[in-house]
Amino acid sequence: MFFEGSEPVPKGRCPQDSKAHESRPNDFHFVLPHWGFPSDSGTSERHQIFDLVNRARQQQPQPCTRNLQIDLRLDGLAQAHTVDLAEHPDLWDKRNPAGWPGHYGSNGSLQADRIKWATGATGQENVYMQWFTGNTPPAIQAVVDGWLQDTDHRKTMLNCDFKATGVGFAVRHGKAPDGSGLDASFYYFTQDFI
């Protein structure tokens, strides 16, 4: 973790979780945001993405010699960013300098900043959002297929230099953006890589 020393900080609870650790005088004063621990939220969807991406990396013409491993820092980071997108739906439309949506955080951070803050390493991020009406959510395979069909996302996902990953999933409910006025569910996914 990154810290600037052991300056006294006010006694209190970590704002991330009232049942978590206490901050006490003379504890380390962390400079970077607290990303929390991986969430069990959307566990099935997250595991499916993890498995499908590893399968795609093994089925490419020059397969990766090792599967991606879950990095708990990246997993917590990906989940936190995905929840951030779901809680701030206008973020999805804000484009990063390369023109891609969904990479800005509500604090103004971009994926490279967040990954560096969480791990100290450089990395990449794939994000995906799909909305639907009715009771049939999109197939998880559609997320991975969407990434595979885009050159930049495919390059990130199949890059064998990446050895670790984290996956986030969140759902938001609102009105369909097509103007129909129908209730809709919005599925958000994030996968970070180092």
Residue-level pLDDT at 136: 87
Which carries the bigger pLDDT value, residue 101 or residue 2? 101
Average pLDDT estimate for 134-146: 92
Predicted local confidence at residue 41, as pLDDT: 54
The DSSP secondary structure of 97-120, one letter per residue, reads: TTS-BS---TTS--HHHHHHHHHS
Residue 125, pLDDT score = 98
Give me the residue label for tokens 């958000």.
188
State pLDDT tens for residues 79-111.
999 999 999 999 999 999 999 999 999 999 999
Q: What is the pLDDT of residues 113-131, one digit of tens each?
A: 999 999 999 999 999 999 9
Q: What is the mean pLDDT of residues 179-194?
A: 97
User: Which residue matches tokens 């609102």?
Assistant: 174
Predicted local confidence at residue 27, as pLDDT: 43
Q: pTM for the whole thing?
A: 0.79
Buried b (16+ CB within 10 A) or exposed e, 128-164: bbebeeeeeeeebeebbebbbeeeebbebbbeeebeb
What integer pLDDT is reported at residue 15 of this predicted model? 42
Contact 36, 131 (CB under 8 A): no
H or E stretch at 193? strand 183-193
Q: Quick: pLDDT tens for 145-182.
A: 999 999 999 999 999 999 999 999 999 999 999 999 99
pLDDT for 124: 97
Q: What is the DSSP string of 38-99?
A: PP-TTHHHHHHHHHHHHHHHHHSSS--SS--EE-HHHHHHHHHHHHHHHH-GGGGG-B-TTS
How sure is the predictor about 137, in pLDDT bands with cuts at 50, 70 and 90? confident
DSSP-derived 3-state class of residue 132: strand
> 127, 85 in Cβ contact below 8 A?
yes
* Each residue's pLDDT tens digit, 21-76: 344 344 443 333 444 444 555 578 999 999 999 999 999 999 999 999 999 999 99
Place of tokens 């973790």: 1
